[in-house]
A and B are shown apart, each in its own frame.
Chain A
Amino acid sequence: MEWLTIQQIVDGLRSKAFSAVEVTQAYLDRIRARNGAIGAYLHVMEDDALASARRVDVALAAGDDVSTLAGVPLAVKDAILVAGHPATASSKILQPYCAAYDATAIAKCKANDAVLLGKTNCDEFAMGSSTENAALGRTANPWDSARVPGGSSGGSAAAVAADTAVAALGSDTGGSIRQPAALCGVVGLKPTYGSVSRHGLIAMASSFDVIGPFARTVADARTLFHAIRGKDRYDATSSEAASSQPQAAYVKDLRIGIPKEYFGSGIDADVVTAVRAAIGVMEGFGCRVEEVSLPLTAYALPVYYVLMPSEVSTNLERFDGIRYGLSAAQRSPHTPMRLYDVYAKMRAEGFGAEVKRRIILGTFALSAGYADQYYKRALAVRNRMREEYRRAFERVDVLVSPTTPTPAWAFGEKMGDPLAMYQSDVLTVSANVVGIPGLSVPCGFVERAAVRGAGTGGGTVRLPVGLQLLARWNNEDALFALGESYEQATGWHQERPSV
């Protein structure tokens, strides 16, 4: 029972080829065998997982119909709350925290009888592109243990890539689903902003954050997306998707745009080759392909690094050492502390460097005398960008580009220079700035020399490359249609890392 898809599990349960408990046990065994080396999971929910699986088997035996996600073992990014279990966002400041409620997306998974295997590692408070900012644990890329899995949802991507989960939930604020999906050779979807409730997602940047699925096939990503989407009374920015435009009847009717600004000089030549080959496959489907220009693309990352830290600085005010989490006052309950110190000391101790950096940057961008010049200016450019994409999607249905500028890099390589790390999101961040959906699918491999001194035996390694598809608001269907046709035509999803 390995490398299963959601459909295979549902079919197998219906035909009684296996039981839900058998599937869940197989995945728990693989976690036990592989998590030491890969470190995808921070917390395994063994008892609850088996209890859920047993409930599925009981329901099936009673003749109940099989739900969409019945018995499907899922991994959950540790920034998403599962009631009764730790939710740390891989931060020391939340190490003591136990979730008091389910995120809406989790409640929906449970309502569909999914099995939740555990909480996966991520960059602290989702801030990072390599999962190296995780304060708790370290996650390696299943394709090369000396390299990063990407971030911030690196644990969820690695769990799916290593077959220690059938699918997973992550969150994408600047690329944090698509980028690790590309680096780990799996499918990752950033849904349209507002299409999946953020209730129960530990907030990073509230106008950018969205929960989304990882899977090994486009069909599975689609199934999981449909299970978690919808308007939620606990998230005022969520909405039921209205069909944005008449959908193409056939894949060949999709008009494809190649945005020239996404193929700049900073993109690895082998990555470009793989993506150009993928575009050739789409031309073979009969799709009309044309080059388009999105001149404001260069401003996406600057807009993001003004607005996102601003929202972060506000969202992380709630970690005050008073209501939950790490508490200085708790350690010395009989020593009276100034309120200022209750905050300042605990936040100093509990937050990592990148988190502190972004809080300070955001505090600056919102401060009196600078808010107009930085925060409001960035808002205005953001609106211009939205307009630019709206116009582009009048002419094309899907934009195609590489997901990341490079394949996975070695641990430590980018940690010395924050700006260099930020650049790895240059191709993904626009979708968050304007709110459109984006899908990353595997599109081949590149060969690289093994990282020196890594003890992985020298020679070369094969690293996955991701293809990014972007569509207009609420047009995930176009992404799934094109993505699935491409996947079936090329078979990249059948490649496996040796784990």
Chain B
Amino acid sequence: MALSTTDVRHLAKLARLDLTNAEVAQFATQLSQVLAYVDQLKEVDVNIATEAIANVSGIEDGMRDDVLHACTSKEHAAILEQFPLREGDQLKTSGVFGG
């Protein structure tokens, strides 16, 4: 499976990542090589529908009580401190619509 520069631009948009033309070209080449390498997985005769299990921890139905654990005022302050743009205690960001 080879990736074209069009493919890479499309993926970059999905990933919200601006790429330069040079990066697009380079990644198309490099990632095509990686995909060629991983294509050997087709040699393994698996039933994808039944065998593609995502659970790796072995834990099933891991439940906990629906109880709130509030963060401490120190943690709260530390988190707010990290906001790049802020008004009072509120995080400031560009609007989702009309921008």
- A residues apposed to B, CB below 8 Å: 83-84, 96-101, 193-194, 207, 233, 236-239, 296, 298-299, 302-303, 305-306, 313, 317, 320-325, 327, 329-330, 333, 336-340, 342-345, 347-348, 351, 353, 356-357, 359-361, 363-364, 367, 372, 374, 376-384, 418-419, 422, 435
Cβ contact of A363, chosen from B11, B54, B85, B91, cutoff 8 A: B11
A348 CA to B27 CA in the complex, in Å? 14
A383 CA to B18 CA in the complex, in Å? 36
Residues of A within 8 A of B64 (CB): 233
Binary CB contact string for chain B from 4 to 41 against chain A (1 if under 8 A, 0 otherwise):
00011001101111110001000100110111011011
- Offer 5 A-B interface pairs, CB within 8 angstroms, sorted by A: A302-B38, A329-B92, A347-B17, A347-B18, A360-B17
B44 touches A313 (CB 8 A): no
Closest-by-CB residue of A relative to B10 is A367
Give 4 A-B pairs besides A317-B16, A325-B82, A360-B31 with Cβ atoms closer than 8 angstroms.
A305-B37, A323-B91, A333-B85, A359-B17
A364 touches B31 (CB 8 A): yes
B94 touches A338 (CB 8 A): yes
A96 CA to B81 CA in the complex, in Å? 11
Residues of A within 8 A of B59 (CB): 194, 236-237, 239
Cβ contact of B95, chosen from A207, A339, A435, cutoff 8 A: A339
Residues of B within 8 A of A296 (CB): 44
| Residue among B16, B37, B41, B64 with most chain A CB within 10 A | B16
A435 CA to B58 CA in the complex, in Å? 10
Cβ contact of A351, chosen from B17, B33, B51, cutoff 8 A: B17
B40 touches A298 (CB 8 A): yes
Closest-by-CB residue of B relative to A326 is B84
Tell me how far the C-beta of A94 lies from the nearest C-beta in chain B, rounded to whole angstroms.
10
Q: Size of chain B's interface in residues, with CB distance under 8 A?
A: 54
A97 CA to B37 CA in the complex, in Å? 37
Tell me how far the C-beta of B38 lies from the nearest C-beta in chain A, rounded to whole angstroms.
4
Residues of B within 8 A of A320 (CB): 16
| Residue among B15, B27, B46 with most chain A CB within 10 A | B15
A372 CA to B41 CA in the complex, in Å? 12
Residues of A within 8 A of B16 (CB): 317, 320, 340, 343-344, 347
A339 touches B38 (CB 8 A): no
B19 touches A348 (CB 8 A): yes
Interface of A (DSSP majority class): helix
Tell me how far the C-beta of A317 lies from the nearest C-beta in chain B, rounded to whole angstroms.
8
Cβ contact of B82, chosen from A238, A239, A303, A323, cutoff 8 A: A323
A66 CA to B29 CA in the complex, in Å? 57
Closest-by-CB residue of A relative to B93 is A322
Tell me how far the C-beta of A155 lies from the nearest C-beta in chain B, rounded to whole angstroms.
23
Residues of B within 8 A of A298 (CB): 40
The answer to whether A356 and B17 touch (CB under 8 A), given A305-B37, A336-B94, is: yes
Cβ contact of B84, chosen from A317, A324, A361, cutoff 8 A: A324
Cβ contact of A339, chosen from B34, B56, B93, cutoff 8 A: B93
B75 touches A321 (CB 8 A): no
The answer to whether A384 and B46 touch (CB under 8 A), given A323-B82, A344-B16, is: yes
Closest-by-CB residue of B relative to A329 is B85
Cβ contact of A379, chosen from B17, B33, B53, cutoff 8 A: B53
A351 CA to B52 CA in the complex, in Å? 31
Residues of B within 8 A of A303 (CB): 41
A380 touches B48 (CB 8 A): yes
A2 CA to B58 CA in the complex, in Å? 43
Closest-by-CB residue of B relative to A344 is B18
The answer to whether A345 and B93 touch (CB under 8 A), given A330-B84, A379-B52, A383-B53, is: no
A356 touches B23 (CB 8 A): yes
Residues of B within 8 A of A193 (CB): 56-57
Binary CB contact string for chain B from 63 to 99 against chain A (1 if under 8 A, 0 otherwise):
0100000010001001101111100000111111001
The answer to whether A329 and B12 touch (CB under 8 A), given A100-B78, A239-B59, A356-B17, is: no
Tell me how far the C-beta of B41 lies from the nearest C-beta in chain A, rounded to whole angstroms.
5
The answer to whether A337 and B94 touch (CB under 8 A), given A299-B41, A344-B18, A347-B17, is: yes
A236 CA to B56 CA in the complex, in Å? 12
Closest-by-CB residue of B relative to A364 is B11
Residues of A within 8 A of B35 (CB): 361, 364
Residues of A within 8 A of B99 (CB): 336-339
| Residue among A317, A321, A364 with most chain B CB within 10 A | A364
Tell me how far the C-beta of A228 lies from the nearest C-beta in chain B, rounded to whole angstroms.
17
Tell me how far the C-beta of A195 lies from the nearest C-beta in chain B, rounded to whole angstroms.
10
A380 CA to B49 CA in the complex, in Å? 9
A377 touches B41 (CB 8 A): yes
A384 CA to B47 CA in the complex, in Å? 11
Tell me how far the C-beta of B86 lies from the nearest C-beta in chain A, rounded to whole angstroms.
10
Cβ contact of B41, chosen from A302, A324, A337, cutoff 8 A: A302
A321 CA to B85 CA in the complex, in Å? 10
Residues of A within 8 A of B7 (CB): 364
Tell me how far the C-beta of A157 lies from the nearest C-beta in chain B, rounded to whole angstroms.
26
B78 touches A98 (CB 8 A): yes
A75 CA to B30 CA in the complex, in Å? 35
Cβ contact of A378, chosen from B18, B41, B82, B96, cutoff 8 A: B41
